[in-house]
C-alpha cells in the first residue's frame, strides 16, 4: 500500500489528495451514489480524473467483489427503467456503449418479454397519432414510422403497429 500512496510520508492513510486508491474510491462512490454505472463508465470517469490505471483497477475490482459494480444487474436496471420508452435495438445500443457484455445485454432484454416492444410501440404510436388527426394519412404514417425507428423499434414491429394504428382510424381522419 505504501507504494500506492505517491504522496508525502506524513499524510494520513486514505487521504484522497495523496492516495490514488482513496481518490479512486471516493470518485467511484460519488458516481455510484447518483445511479448504478457499468464498469466501463466508472473506468472512463476515473481516467478522465487522471486516476492511475492500477489504482482504478484495484478499486473497481474490489467494488465488483462486494457487488457495488455488477454489469448484469446494471443492464437489467437499465432495461427496466428505459424499456417503456425505447425498443430493444436502442436499449442494446445504449448498453453496448456503456461497455456491458453482449451476454448480459441479451439476458436483460430477453427478460422484458416478447410482447414488450409491440405493446410499448403501440401505446406510443396511438398517443402520437391522436395529435396528428388533421394531417394526411401518408404524412402520419411517415412521421409515426420515423418516431418509432428513432426509439429503436424493429421494422417488423413498426410495420405492424403503424398498420394497426392507422387501420383503427376512421376514413374521416384521412385529412
- List pLDDT tens digits, range 128-172: 999 998 899 999 999 999 999 999 999 999 999 999 999 887 555
What angle in degrees, to the nearest 10, is found between the helix axes of 137-150 and 116-130? 140
Q: What percent of the chain has pLDDT over 70?
A: 86
Q: What pLDDT does residue 173 have? A: 47
pTM of the model: 0.74
* Grid cell locating 60: 473497481
Question: What are all long-range contacts of 18-21, with beta carbons under 8 Å and residues at least 24 apart?
Answer: 20/51, 20/52, 20/55, 21/55, 21/58, 21/59
Q: What pLDDT does residue 8 have? A: 41
Q: Do 62 and 8 share a domain, yes or no?
A: yes
> Which residues, at least 6 apart from 80, have a Cβ–Cβ distance to it below 8 Å?
112
Q: Do 101 and 146 share a domain, yes or no?
A: no
Q: Do 147 and 160 share a domain, yes or no?
A: yes
Q: What's the mean pLDDT in 56-78?
A: 95
**Distance of alpha carbon 114 from the chain centroid:** 19
Residue 5 has pLDDT above 50, yes or no: no
Number of domains making up the chain: 3
Q: What pLDDT does residue 116 have? A: 86
132: containing domain: 116-174
In this structure, what CATH number is given to the domain that contains residue 14?
A: 1.10.10
Q: Do 120 and 97 share a domain, yes or no?
A: no
Measured at the CA of 61, the angle between CA 57 and CA 63, to 5 degrees, comes to 120
Amino acid at each position: 500500500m505504501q507504494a500506492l500512496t505517491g504522496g508525502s510520508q506524513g499524510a494520513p492513510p486514505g487521504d484522497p489528495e495523496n492516495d490514488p486508491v482513496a481518490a479512486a474510491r471516493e470518485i467511484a462512490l460519488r458516481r455510484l451514489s447518483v445511479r448504478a454505472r457499468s464498469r466501463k463508465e466508472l473506468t472512463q470517469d476515473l481516467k478522465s480524473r487522471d486516476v492511475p490505471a492500477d489504482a482504478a483497477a484495484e478499486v473497481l475490482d474490489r467494488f465488483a467483489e462486494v457487488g457495488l459494480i455488477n454489469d448484469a444487474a446494471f443492464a437489467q436496471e437499465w432495461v427496466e427503467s428505459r424499456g417503456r420508452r425505447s425498443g430493444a435495438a436502442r436499449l442494446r445500443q445504449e448498453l453496448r456503449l456503456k461497455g456491458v457484455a453482449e451476454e448480459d445485454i441479451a439476458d436483460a432484454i430477453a427478460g422484458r418479454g416478447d410482447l414488450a416492444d409491440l405493446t410499448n410501440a403501440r401505446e406510443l404510436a396511438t398517443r402520437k397519432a391522436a395529435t396528428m388527426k388533421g394531417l394526411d394519412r401518408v404524412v402520419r404514417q411517415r412521421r409515426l414510422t420515423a418516431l418509432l425507428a428513432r426509439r429503436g423499434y424493429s421494422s417488423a414491429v413498426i410495420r405492424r403497429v403503424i398498420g394497426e394504428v392507422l387501420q383503427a382510424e376512421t376514413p374521416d381522419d384521412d385529412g
